[in-house]
Amino acid sequence: MVSLRLLYPEYPTPSDAQIFSPAETGIMFSCTATGQIVGVRFYRIDAFPGNNVASLWDISGNLLSQSSLQLSQPGWQDILFIPATIIPGLPYVASVYNPNGYIATPGLLASPRILGPLMGIAGVIDPIHEYPASQSRTDYWVSPIFNAVSSSDGLLDLGEL
């Protein structure tokens, strides 16, 4: 069984989020443990079909892994890709492009979100579906899916996806 981890301890419905037009949105994060990022979990706002693209980037904007999936349901969605090993202590960006728009909650990342070895540092966005370099304290409801080497870190165990 694969033990997968996220930055959210539960899967809340973002009730106070604002809705915006299409963009590449995500989260800058780092990790204190050895492991791999195997995908991205995000909150999708609508039931309109669309080709959603999940990406993992290094801090310089180099694409490390990417996958797309045609989705048509709202709510929490997972897009898995070829696992990418990350180096503890270095920042990375997990992002998703939703062609039908995204949600955001300003100020929710005023301080880092820490859960086990994962630390969400800042929300990131790019309006033209490229590396999302613009940082803010806004939460775009995106999380890396982390496959830890050890499952004794106190994180939410998702089991197998």
Cα angle for residues 63, 67, 70 (degrees, 5° grid): 145
pLDDT of residue 4: 57
pLDDT of residue 11: 64
pLDDT at 77 over 80: yes
Q: 142 in a domain, yes or no? A: yes
User: Per the structure block, which two tokens stand in for 79?
Assistant: 């897009």
Q: Are 5 and 158 in contact (CB under 8 A)?
A: yes
Q: 24 in a domain, yes or no? A: no
Q: 1 in a domain, yes or no? A: no
Q: 29 in a domain, yes or no? A: no
Q: 120 in a domain, yes or no? A: no
pLDDT at 71 over 90: no
Chain centre distance of CA 135: 14
From 117, 118, 70, 114, select the one nearest 94 (Cα to Cα): 118
Residue 97's domain spans which residues? 36-115+125-148
pLDDT tens per residue, range 79-119: 999 999 999 999 999 999 988 888 898 998 989 988 888 99
CA distances from 89 to 38, 84, 86, 105 (A): 18, 15, 9, 26
Q: 48 in a domain, yes or no? A: yes
Number of domains present in the structure of the chain:
1
pTM: 0.86
pLDDT tens per residue, range 18-29: 778 889 999 999
pLDDT tens per residue, range 120-138: 999 999 988 889 999 999 9
pLDDT of residue 88: 95
Share the mean pLDDT of the chain: 85
pLDDT of residue 9: 60
DSSP secondary structure string, 17-38?
Answer: -EEE-SEEEEEEEEESS-EEEE
Q: Are 148 and 155 in contact (CB under 8 A)?
A: yes
Q: 87 in a domain, yes or no? A: yes
* Ranges of H-type helices in the chain: none
